[in-house]
Chains A and B, each alone.
Chain A
Amino acid sequence: MKYVIIGNSIAAAGCIEGIRKIDNENEIIVISQEPYHIYSRPLISYWLSGKINEEKIYYRPWDYYEKYRVKPILGRKVERVDFDKKKLYLDNNDEIYYDKLLIATGGKPFIPNILGLAKKNVFTFIKFDDVKAIDKAICPGAKAVVVGGGLSGLKAAEALIKRGCEVTVIELAERILGSILDDEGAKLVQNELEKYGIKFVLKNSVIEILGEERVEKIKLQTQEEIPADLVIFSIGVVPNVDIFKDTPLKINRGIIVNTKMETNIPDVYAAGDVVEAFDLILEEKRVIPILPNAYIQGEVAGINMAGGDFEYEGSFPINSIGFFDIHMMTGGIVNPKEDCEVLKRLERDRKIYRKICLKDGRILGFIFINSFDRTGMIVDLMKNKVDVSGFKERLLLDNFGFLDLPKEVRREKIWRV
Chain B
Amino acid sequence: MLVKTKKRIYPKEEVCIGCHLCEIYCVLAHSGTRDLIKAFKKKDRPSPRVIVEEKEGVHVTFALQCRHCDDPLCIKACITGAMHRDEKTGAILCDEEKCVGCWSCILVCPYGAIRRGENKKVASKCDLCIEKGDPICVQNCPNSALELVEV
The interface of chain A, by Cβ under 8 A from chain B, is 14, 17, 20-21, 24, 40, 42-43, 46, 51-52, 56, 58-61, 68, 291-292, 295-296, 299, 318-322, 327, 329, 331, 372-377, 379-380, 399, 401-404, 413-415, 417
Contacts and interface: CB of A to CB of B under 8 A. Distances in A.
Interface of B: 1-2, 8, 10-11, 51, 53-55, 58, 60-62, 64, 67, 69-70, 73, 76-77, 79-81, 98, 100, 102-112, 114-116
Given A291-B77, A417-B67, A318 B107 contact: yes
A374 B107 contact: no
A403 B76 CA distance: 27
B77 A417 contact: no
A59 B80 contact: yes
A402 B53 contact: yes
Given A292-B76, A299-B76, A376-B73, A327 B111 contact: no
Contacts of B115: 373
A417 B69 contact: yes
A394 to B, nearest CB: 9
Given A52-B100, A320-B103, A292 B112 contact: no
Given A373-B112, A376-B107, A417-B8, A20 B81 contact: no
A375 B80 CA distance: 20
Given A42-B79, A43-B80, 17 more contacts: A14-B76, A40-B79, A40-B80, A40-B81, A56-B98, A292-B108, A320-B102, A372-B106, A374-B106, A375-B107, A376-B107, A377-B110, A377-B111, A379-B107, A402-B62, A415-B10, A417-B69
A225 B30 CA distance: 56
Contacts of B102: 42, 320-322
Contacts of A295: 76-77
B111 A20 contact: no
A25 B132 CA distance: 36
Nearest to A40: B79
B73 A43 contact: no
A403 B64 contact: no
